[in-house]
Amino acid sequence: GAVVSQHPSRVICKSGTSVKIECRSLDFQATTMFWYRQFPKKSLMLMATSNEGSKATYEQGVEKDKFLINHASLTLSTLTVTSAHPEDSSFYICSAPPGTSGRFTDTQYFGPGTRLTVL
Amino acid sequence: GEDVEQSLFLSVREGDSSVINCTYTDSSSTYLYWYKQEPGAGLQLLTYIFSNMDMKQDQRLTVLLNKKDKHLSLRIADTQTGDSAIYFCAESIRPGTASKLTFGTGTRLQVTL
């Protein structure tokens, strides 16, 4: 089945630094990828839609200058948390739909997540 | 706006049935999903149902949908310790590829011996 990987799986950084998280589709191409944020004991909240070859679409309330998204290729999207602060600590999950047919079963495949801790 | 709610925690004994409930508010929801998240891992799609269906069964999993009440449930028969995880319901108004998913708050299922 389709596999989505994320790197790193866990990162600890100092306040004020920037952190880059990679999301890769390993055996399929994805023109669209989604970035979610999950707070402890909370649901996943969609942050933005990453589009290959064009700008990302951000959800309301998400600072695009804070969370930079680059969809560099059909298999890679990166999320950079700039000038990270402790309140940015969270579990970040990406997902990618494996096909473009629009079939219902072409649902999203999720990466394993990246836990970011900002000290 | 969209809002999907679930109870936070459910504890069942191994071998019993588990029922996880979900309510949603968006009447235009057309596709409803159940995802499983194991500790430190991403989400795994378990099953899904169209809004024009009332029930769907897939091995140990049974999904019931009451569209009038906007209520969705997931029943796991013969619950095993490996079923311990967080279960999320999610909804979208269109299928597959570029659909935006709205997730519920998640229900943590604990299976005891």
Chain B residues with CB under 8 Å of a chain A CB are 4, 8, 31, 33, 35, 40-45, 48, 50, 88, 95-106
- pLDDT computed for residue A103 by the predictor: 45
- pLDDT computed for residue A87 by the predictor: 94
Q: Do A103 and B40 touch (CB under 8 A)?
A: no
pLDDT above 80 for A114? yes
pLDDT above 60 for A105? no
Q: Which residue of B has its CA nearest to A51?
A: B98
Min distance A61 CA to chain B CA atoms (Å): 15
Instruction: Name which of A110, A43, A115, A35 is nearest A67 in CA terms.
Output: A35
User: For every one of its 113 residues, what pLDDT tens digit does chain B have, with 9 covering 90 and above?
Assistant: 458 889 889 999 999 999 999 998 877 767 889 999 988 778 888 998 888 889 999 999 999 999 889 999 999 999 999 999 999 999 887 655 456 788 898 999 999 99
- pLDDT computed for residue A101 by the predictor: 43
A79: CB partners within 8 A, 6+ apart: A20, A21, A23, A35, A47, A50, A67, A68, A69, A92, A94
Confidence of residue A76 (pLDDT cuts 50, 70, 90): very high
Q: Do B96 and A49 touch (CB under 8 A)?
A: no
- pLDDT computed for residue B2 by the predictor: 58
Pick the more confident residue, A77 or A40.
A77
